[in-house]
Amino acid sequence: MKHNVAGKSLQRNSAHRAALRKNFTVAVIRHERVVTTLAKAKALRPFVEKVITLARSNDKKTRLHRIRQAASLLQDKDMVKKLFDVIGPRFANRPGGYTRILRLPDYRIGDGGTKVVFELVENDVLARQIKAAEEGAANVTPDAEAANA
């Protein structure tokens, strides 16, 4: 029996799980959208949401303390800055539920694990990708296409 064992082990030792938790959270903050497995997404969602909760408040008295807490958890100064300057204010009026897990129809090659998209709610990643694709297509002229062929 597994009494008093909290969380999933994800078939990793404790140091590997801590590194996975940190790296996954940094990737979510950096890209706002990550493709991963369902088990990882479900296990790491509470940690990501707690880190975002640190950045939500505008209280000046505890801001430095919360920044230091986030820095000790993430160990990436650029992502801590983005967390407090961009992501925290975005979710300031939201009481919780900052992430969503969307299942993908295909499975991972090798182990057949369920793939999911783990993303922040209210992100504009798809809009930015569509805009970049349209600008890239607009920059390509018919003469350039003929020269490449």
Question: What's the whole-number average pLDDT of the chain?
Answer: 90
Contacts of 43 (CB under 8 A, 6+ apart): 7, 8, 10
Across 119-147, average pLDDT: 78
Flag whether pLDDT at 142 surpasses 80.
no
Using CA atoms, how far residue 73 sits from 11, 24, 84, 109, 122, in Å, is: 22, 12, 14, 32, 24
pTM: 0.82
Give dist(CA 66, CA 72) in Å, integer: 10
Cα distances (Å, whole numbers) of residue 7 to 20, 26, 35, 94, 121: 14, 20, 21, 26, 24
Residue 115, pLDDT above cutoff 90: yes
pLDDT, mean of residues 70-93:
94
Structural domains in the chain, sorted by start: 14-121 (3.90.1030.10)
**What pLDDT does 50 receive?**
95
Mean pLDDT over residues 90-110, rounded?
93
